[in-house]
Structure 1
């Protein structure tokens, strides 16, 4: 779906992309990185809106330098920034975008109605966009990206500014874009949990370089670690510490993470040992479950001698750092 080879973008004082090489297959793919990691720069290069300093890139088999207009015919784009005219309705705006993409008037009207219904704006489609909530505006941006029935949509931070309910609804819509219509999706975010639950594959970049590209299922598979949480009692005010001491005395490897105990599961007998330790201390068992990897671990060292890779906070904006370096 997307291929880059040594893709580099330099500005006078900043390197936004640094020899980025990756291959992205069809499906729902998450591009994760902090603000300033190079996500938006990559999308603009893929759309042919920004020239790379070095390297090559192709989208749907089309070269981004030679075939920019052909790429934009087949790709939908939902920008991160505010870009909607406030004094027109959603129907007028999405219809205009459909006509701009080359659809005849009748087909454009039909596609506009269908797309606004799909994103949940059918009842509100004739109201001026200026009176919409942030969540409704995000849905309009998604609708205009889908109205011409593209093969691929690029969604840049689609949950920006949304409350938890709005984020959940947007993530469900994104998933349905692929499951209901077979359209591939590349979605960017700096929120790791969003991509973990939405995407089939995750590409992680930081400082314009590739950290990891891996299927979500492979990375979030179950570990050999069990998470145990227990209650306290008058006899044992710190129940977790008491259980930890008992397990260590039984030869079980355990690590305390606050009130949560992370127990290494060597074999089936480990479960019995934990149960007996909790019961023997007269404590209650809140939960005992197999732990799964989280995408946040992509930013932790993978070898004992590796250096931690920083995941920059949301306050850092693209272009506010020095030249990128390879982690």
Structure 2
């Protein structure tokens, strides 16, 4: 039994033909799992269904071995949830709010106060915990929301767009916190984002949704593996006709039968079309060809490096794998 699982989960609103979730079957295990998709892909709908707050139209799901249809209260007791939108009472201090949320989750008053102090310190609000949250910055509000999701020592944490509205530095800090929760504290995390690069950095597993449908569910390393494409960068003066070094290098490689194209200041070279057992030797031969071509042209070879995959590629190729 994994942390959570869905089977043919579908959610339709009214009589419309468009489904917010469409026949979704996915399993989520330990570590940090990124739930990625554009706005409207069904991420928030899925979380609300998993929390037992929204009934599915059809299909099944279990969270920590609890049925979402009949055990919603039990799920919410053991799951920490950080909503996307601002939901903090502006006239409350963070310490009082987090203590209250701990008590709502079943902690005695003394234990709730002790836990609240601990988690507020963990999320970086130790000095500001006695301030009214109405005066908090966006980053501080996000940290307070994270603290209330952790106060009752949950067995699973669901974070809906935790970096929403944050500047780059605050975003990095939040992502580091999320990774610590999943790895240092050993609490499984399901985190949503429409910013693909964020989830590449912190997730062990990625689930990709598009218009309510599952595109891919796989270890992050599988998304980011070597694509076989090679990126080449050269440096040199233009020739007498004014043609720059990159263009000359690309033309020379094409003349030698290499499929390539410009990509910004680089040359993107396609892998040789060979059988899998010969791929390694073919890649070595391609690198030798690139080196020799640069030497023949008299240009400096700055780098020859493999291009790894990106989550963006999943949307570009429709998730085919």
Q: Tell me, in whole angstroms, the C-alpha distance in 2 between the residues paired with 1:299 and 1:95.
A: 42
Name the structure 1 match of 2:278. none
Q: Which of residues 102, 108, 113 in structure 2 aligns to 1:104?
A: 108
Q: Secondary structure at the match of 2:95?
A: helix
C-alpha distance in 2 between matches for 1:281 and 1:166? 47
The answer to whether 1:67 aligns with 2:71 is: yes
From 1, 4, 7, the equivalent of 1:5 is 7
Q: Structure 2: how far apart are the matches of 1:270 and 1:141? A: 52
Q: How many angstroms does 1:177 deviate by?
A: 0.3
Provide the C-alpha distance between the structure 1 equivalents of 2:132 and 2:233, rounded to a whole number of angstroms.
51
Q: Matches of 1:178 and 1:184 in 2, distance apart?
A: 5
The list of structure 1 runs, each at least 4 consecutive aligned residues, that deviate by more than 6 angstroms after superposition, is none
> How far apart, in 1, do the equivalents of 2:110 and 2:103 lie?
10
- Helix, strand or coil at the partner of 2:252: helix
Shift of 1:247: 1.3
Which residue, 241, 260, 263 being the options, matches 2:266? 260
Is residue 184 of structure 1 aligned with residue 200 of structure 2?
no
| Equivalent residue for 1:54, pick from 49, 58, 62 | 58
What is aligned with 2:289?
A: 273
> Paired residues, what number?
304
Over the residues paired in the alignment, what is the CA RMSD in angstroms? 1.7
**Partner of residue 43, structure 2:** 39
Deviates more, 1:100-109 or 1:222-231: 222-231
Question: If the length of structure 1 is used for normalisation, what is the TM-score?
Answer: 0.89
2:33–2:206 CA contact under 8 A, matched in 1: yes
Counterpart of 1:251 in structure 2 is: 257
Instruction: State which drifts further: 274-283 or 28-37.
Output: 274-283
Q: What pairs up with 1:145-184 in 2 under 5 angstroms?
A: 145-184=149-188
Q: Judge conservation of contact 2:229–2:268 (CA < 8 Å) in 1.
A: yes
Structure 2's unaligned 5+ residue stretches are 272-281
Structure scoring higher RCO (CA < 8 A, sep ≥ 6) equals 1
